[in-house]
Amino acid sequence: MAAKPQECRARVLAVRGLTPEVIEADLQMEHPPRLEFEAGQWVSIPFGPKIVRAYSIASTPGSPHVITLAADVEPGGLGSLWFRELAPGAAVHFKGPLGGFVFDRSDARHPLFIAEEIGIVPIRSILNDLQETGGGRPTQLAYWARRPSGLVYDAELSSLARRFPAFAYHPVVGPDDPAWTGTRGEIDALVDRLTPSVEHLVAYVAGSERTIHRVRDLLVTKGLARKAVKWEKFW
């Protein structure tokens, strides 16, 4: 059963710049001393009356005393500025866990995860949680970015695929980046190639509204039930 969201307090342990645009922050839980959550969920940070920002949890439920948040700070808005200014020792107040973008282990269908840039964060948590808990099964990930630096967890996911043969990782970069030596193109074209059949398939899509619609429309056209496409919109 999913934990009920509650008001939480934590303290920043460490801050890391994964790329010029993406920052990770480790938070030591103080109240409560551990956060019970499901992989794929997020927390809500308040910035004033009726002003909140949501950040997906990048770490797994196996480490409830310290959670990791990751954010794309390129937009430069209120949340981006707050994340850029985080430093070890700072207090952080938030509400969580929240969200229903979680993997249903009782579902016998074959999962296809589709991430666009920072949308990888909840999916990274889900994939690592599956491997940590021995719940691995044949799983595919299609991960798209405009440029190679947008594949934030590329090295980690490549390593995961080498260690767990049942996990297939398919990174793709936009067609206009000549420096990328791997697959180039659009995410829906990659998903099309990965799904010659949608029988016994369930899809989890995280990214922009445009990508969610494009992928969902493609899979529904192939015969997948609309409800078999789970999604989390980042922008």
pLDDT of 165 above 90: no
pLDDT given for residue 136 in this prediction: 65
Q: Angle at the Cα of 148 (from 146 to 152), degrees rounded to 5? A: 100
All structural domains of the chain with their residue ranges: 6-98, 110-233
CA 8, CA 32: separation in Å to the nearest integer? 6
Q: What percent of the chain has pLDDT over 70?
A: 98
Of 61, 64, 67, 83, the C-alpha closest to 27 is: 67
Residue 225 burial (CB count, 10 A)? 11
What's the whole-number mean pLDDT along residues 208-235? 96
Contact status, residue 174 vs residue 184, Cβ threshold 8 Å: yes
Mean pLDDT for the stretch of residues 149-175: 93
In angstroms, the CA 43 to CA 162 distance is 31
* 92-150 pLDDT per residue, tens: 999 999 999 999 989 999 999 999 999 999 999 999 999 888 766 789 999 999 999 99
User: Mean of the per-residue pLDDT values for the chain?
Assistant: 93
Top-level class of domain 110-233: alpha beta
SS3 content of the chain, % helix, strand, coil (to 5): 25, 35, 40
**Domain 6-98 falls under CATH 3.10.290.10:** no
Longest alpha-carbon distance in the chain:
51
- Is pLDDT above 90 for 26? yes
Q: What percent of the chain is predicted at pLDDT more than 90?
A: 80
* Residue 74, pLDDT score: 84
What pTM did the predictor assign? Answer: 0.93
38-66: burial string, b at 16+ Cβ within 10 Å, e else = bbbbbbbbeeeeeeebbbbbbbbbeebee
